Structure 1
């Protein structure tokens, strides 16, 4: 027995070590894939934080600063303490020491995000301003720096602005430089770093089949020199083994300024197609040459796939029908807010993937570059969207800022094969049925801008109902429609889903449809043998999910579902059983506990063996001694034992009626999976009442 135990322990240790190596490799690849340019270094340490909303940068001798490391937010704790949290400005400061040689080329600061509007100063001079808290932006600082010590001051504010979405939301608007900062060095003649915060290079494959794929590469050359230069632009696509599969180049005289160039590449023969089960990636390397040497290089990922959303057939990928089994994700974590490291994003994406999901909606805003790179590598189909949620301001500044957010999102993330659709609004009629014409007009502009920036992907909207959206003709604007449905939580009952979703579809039958949100709140402390709507019990959450998944599987035209939400998330205004938290997650806010609902979904979506005896935290029963115990499993059959006695095997349903004994009761379920035997169980206590004695 000891030998077997030791061998098993050794195998477990080896498996753990291999998994850790795999995680490190995936993470390192994803981080490297989001650097894009050759000379990029993180600028995350050595910052000073001044929690002051003064209009001017703090004085040089201001000693009120607190040392911080980026990513950083000032709302990690106050959003949990009260409904009203700090929405104001603050200052960040850092010294940047440069040699004379380092000041000869071009220098840029890239902020991966700052919430929600920022001004960047270098040595007291304004370098750039940026509106929007969820996309990257770049400041060129070449003319503002000098050899020696330089001072970077950044004013960031999350104060509400009527010209900046989101205006009304069910999540926190965190302040701070909550994603990383990069220092980028480039030549005076090179590839542009000033393309809406993105890499400035993109490969487009409009016609893809298993036999061949077209390839077109777009790059922007930036010449800051006073005279024209003869240059050659070279693009090479390599597969995962490093073999070149397509190559093209062009030579031109590059005048001063920026100029977009398009290269028509040779078709790729028999491409390795990207999918959730086989996320094959290629590497596009674009180089710029002068007469003799490489002067600049940009590297981005590329993936080949073809897909279709059909109003009657749902979603297909690479010629095969795929039901989108998705979740939504917010980017914050308990007592940390959105100030996360790449390792945090990897943990989240792996947890989503391990549950069996094949799709992810990034709600309600663009997320970190690394998140998309991880979805590319681990295989998740992505719906990404801008933060146009619930309300608008009906004027041109608001519209222009929203359009800018859309263009930045697409420019920065269009090279990711995991993304299949761009979202342009969420529940714009939920707060008010007013301004419908203005809301539709803005949607039309956003839809047109999305197709102009990316003709290869459809657009999508998320509605909370159908009547107002149909009457206002909002449902005809986007290519796809998602519905946020909570029947059985906020109103009505579970069985209403099929009827109501069908009514929605009948109103706009020429569009493909998805369920973009559904969910119920739960609290690990709330356990009910007789759950009720909005009681926040794990049992009600599971009952709702089970009903929704059962119904969704029987709707042939439905492209997919996205559960709301994968993780509990911050919502300071909420006063539920855990104040300040939206509790609809399948996993707790701190990522420490997978709720019962996680295992329910995993048993429905994952191919990996799953066996889970439901309600392990419901440890005490009173009243009726006969109770039904459910098992969530994807195995062929399972056997339940009560106090060591078999209650029989089941191959469907997986629900046993158990007559509990007074006092402790041990429940244990087993199921074979190949050569392995899976187990799960726990002990409950039963106390008869006077009526049942």
Structure 2
């Protein structure tokens, strides 16, 4: 038998071990967890939150049977945004789950952090509302601690809910004129929990915000780091120990300090540090420092980590953009949070894929249109070296009342505070197309100017290190630091050859000019032998702005947006010319093509793919259009080569007629082999339009033609090869269709429908609409907003493609076009 003293020692050791294990648990606890699984969703409204949490009894009149299982992030409009048969859903929707909560911190807090939810959000624990937020794009956090503790006293906590906490969330994207953005905007105002939702455990005192201002002179000799903290301290503790550690990009500690600080309700400047010759952040070498701030109070600690970068930028008056003392031509594009099959609910993997594709295209600048975007986007831009213009969603419609203005102020403040530390951000955007009326009975330019001035002052007050900007509101162009007018040479007005002259004229009207939004729509897979045949119908003379109605197919002057063929062939020429000119404009800060990826919009129901803005250089599912490679040929240094025509299976013309074969490459020279015969070597010259001189005139033979190119850049040799058919037969009026299966793998069949005249000649310029339907066990892969994922779309060169998930059993797919007999295929 053990002595009482030994038993006492054993118990003491156990107590110490338990205390040690608790300390380890607290120190190593997973402070943040994404809540992605075990959610249910109900489209529509409930009578109240009680309907979401009461015990459901099958067959009972009280049960609500329409809940469906979903994974977060989730968007109301994942499919209906591009459904040609309906308006996309705008209204309420509910989400619910039961959470097992285990906060490792005694007296700690339990938070729900929303990275973004659309557009009005209410949060409930059991039947208690614990928070709400208005605005679909800025982050917000709801403290559920007190409501959770209260619910744990309820009898149903252990009976009905088995020790779990019922969480219900109501999102609502109903139309509301007193909200931004306007429903007149050229993008969907989506609903749902379409960004990540995080469960966060904190001790009694945690870091709410860490502002780490990294500044450096233009020569990169002296860096200054100012660290300011904002603490979350609902228990009103009076003091805490604060430690900071700063590491460079290789993990070397360059600053380390600790202090005891009085806990205040205001932001507190904690440290300033000087760094000699800090590692600079740039697109070529985006070197990031890590700032770790640890706060210790009442025996518990909490660590907050931020990435920062040292860079110096300047917009020269009527001149170029400088980064770290050297000129940098901003080679940009734009981004909407929108993707095939998920709408706004893009996963982290999808977002990273998209930003990497931009970087691989040569992008060093991106304007995030037209709202604050996911933190993941900014983190990737920091990591990859992409400069950012981010803006609030004050977009079109005019100016509302005080509720409207309050939201705009709040979203500007949140955007700046939440993305303050990102070295990628150089511009805070205050609005877009604010000269566009429509939401209110009056359109008051002076009221808009007054509010724009207020936002401009607020932005500089919150962050005086970045510039402010707007796009397309001439009567406010003098208010902001950087202005972008409307220049759409060759699309909404004029011809693209006017681009340089129009841009120079606009540059001279403001102190700091940056051209964002240019380009044009292209229906993927559509090509043209004469893409500019309407040019003689256009008014030419230095006007390239977008005006009211230019995006429609009705009325007004002739323009490519209305009267052009929407071919990839034309858009490649337009982009080619712009990029050629931008290389030879020494005063240009930069330009950003609109946009990188096709995206859904409610205001374009008559487009070749209905409800899609098709100006992207990739489709909504990341499928690259030919234009992607045009950008690469100018913007990247890694050797690349692309024959124009990979998605152009059949060309047409007369027998013996010479046709141009274009090659996009950044290589020094290239040799074309046409049907096995060398057509000669061409040297690349960026100013030799089109295709930088890499073009050959060849005579196609009837039937198949093999095109091969060999290109050289230094010691690197690249090859590319395609096969194109050539058709000399002339077609008449479209008269019949044929549908065939052209691929079948992994349970997915690919179907192609073609349009012919009454003599059986394929109508290669036909743009008839075609609709697909399916009866049986399979399922169309449709409502994707792509050229091969839409059940109703215009044909591209007399053909269209749809894919089918076959499943087990049989299906019949039909293809129908007005005035032509419907065709069927059995799978």
Coarse TM-score class (shorter-chain normalised): 0.7 to 0.9
- Tell me how far 1:496 sits from its aligned partner: 2.3
The TM-score normalised by the length of structure 2 is: 0.74
Q: In the alignment, what sits opposite 1:369?
A: 375
- Tell me how far 1:252 sits from its aligned partner: 3.1
Q: In the alignment, what sits opposite 2:621?
A: 590
Q: In the alignment, what sits opposite 2:42?
A: 50
Are 1:172 and 2:178 matched, yes or no? no
CA contact (8 A) 1:217 1:263 kept: yes
SS of match in other structure, 2:266 = strand
| 2: CA distance, partners of 1:690 / 1:160 | 51
* Mapping 1:384-423, distance limit 5 Å: 384-423=390-429
* Mapping 1:283-362, distance limit 5 Å: 283-290=290-297, 295-362=301-368
| 2: CA distance, partners of 1:48 / 1:685 | 51
* Mapping 1:274-673, distance limit 5 Å: 274-290=281-297, 295-431=301-437, 434-463=443-472, 469-470=473-474, 472=475, 474-508=476-510, 511-532=511-532, 533=560, 534-574=564-604, 575-591=606-622, 593-618=623-648, 619-623=650-654, 625-652=657-684, 653-673=693-713
SS of match in other structure, 2:508 = helix
SS of match in other structure, 2:570 = helix
The unaligned stretches of length 5 or more in structure 2 are: 1-28, 57-63, 153-162, 533-559, 685-692, 732-827
| 2: CA distance, partners of 1:103 / 1:229 | 18
- Tell me how far 1:38 sits from its aligned partner: 6.4
- Tell me how far 1:581 sits from its aligned partner: 1.0
SS of match in other structure, 1:295 = strand
Are 1:67 and 2:77 matched, yes or no? no
| Cα pair distance change 1:452/1:38, threshold 3 Å | farther
CA contact (8 A) 2:399 2:448 kept: no
- Tell me how far 1:620 sits from its aligned partner: 2.1
CA contact (8 A) 1:312 1:556 kept: no
| Cα pair distance change 1:55/1:258, threshold 3 Å | farther
| Cα pair distance change 1:216/1:634, threshold 3 Å | same
CA contact (8 A) 2:77 2:343 kept: yes
Equivalent residue in structure 2 for 1:222, among 219, 232, 242:
232
CA contact (8 A) 1:41 1:184 kept: yes
SS of match in other structure, 2:485 = strand
- Tell me how far 1:294 sits from its aligned partner: 5.5
| Cα pair distance change 1:370/1:159, threshold 3 Å | same
| Cα pair distance change 1:43/1:225, threshold 3 Å | same
- Tell me how far 1:537 sits from its aligned partner: 0.4
C-alpha offsets along residues 496-540 of structure 1, whole Å, 9 cap, x if unaligned? 2223222322322xx211110011111223210101433110011
Q: CA RMSD in A?
A: 2.0
CA contact (8 A) 1:211 1:271 kept: yes
- Tell me how far 1:447 sits from its aligned partner: 0.8
C-alpha offsets along residues 544-593 of structure 1, whole Å, 9 cap, x if unaligned? 111222223332222101011111111133111111111111011111x2
| 2: CA distance, partners of 1:158 / 1:41 | 26
Q: In the alignment, what sits opposite 2:723?
A: 683
CA contact (8 A) 2:242 2:295 kept: yes
CA contact (8 A) 1:229 1:290 kept: no
Q: In the alignment, what sits opposite 1:259?
A: 266
- Tell me how far 1:690 sits from its aligned partner: 8.4
| Cα pair distance change 1:99/1:615, threshold 3 Å | closer
SS of match in other structure, 1:558 = coil
| Cα pair distance change 1:100/1:304, threshold 3 Å | closer
- Tell me how far 1:454 sits from its aligned partner: 1.0
* Mapping 1:92-107, distance limit 5 Å: 92-99=95-102, 104-107=107-110
| Stretch moving more, 321-330 or 257-266 | 257-266
Larger RCO: 1 or 2 (CA < 8 Å, sep 6+): 1
* Mapping 1:31-180, distance limit 5 Å: 39-57=31-49, 58-59=51-52, 60=54, 61=56, 62-82=64-84, 84-99=87-102, 104-146=107-149, 147=152, 148-167=163-182, 168-180=184-196
- Tell me how far 1:295 sits from its aligned partner: 2.1
C-alpha offsets along residues 165-214 of structure 1, whole Å, 9 cap, x if unaligned? 1112111111110011111111123323xxxxxxx001112444422201
C-alpha offsets along residues 36-69 of structure 1, whole Å, 9 cap, x if unaligned? x961111121111111223512242233211111
| 1: CA distance, partners of 2:325 / 2:30 | 37
| 2: CA distance, partners of 1:484 / 1:278 | 33
- Tell me how far 1:101 sits from its aligned partner: 6.2
| 1: CA distance, partners of 2:661 / 2:470 | 40
| Stretch moving more, 106-115 or 527-536 | 527-536
| Cα pair distance change 1:219/1:627, threshold 3 Å | same
Equivalent residue in structure 2 for 1:237, among 236, 246, 249:
246
The unaligned stretches of length 5 or more in structure 1 are: 1-36, 193-199, 464-468
Q: Which has the larger radius of gyration?
A: 2
CA contact (8 A) 1:375 1:381 kept: yes
SS of match in other structure, 1:308 = strand
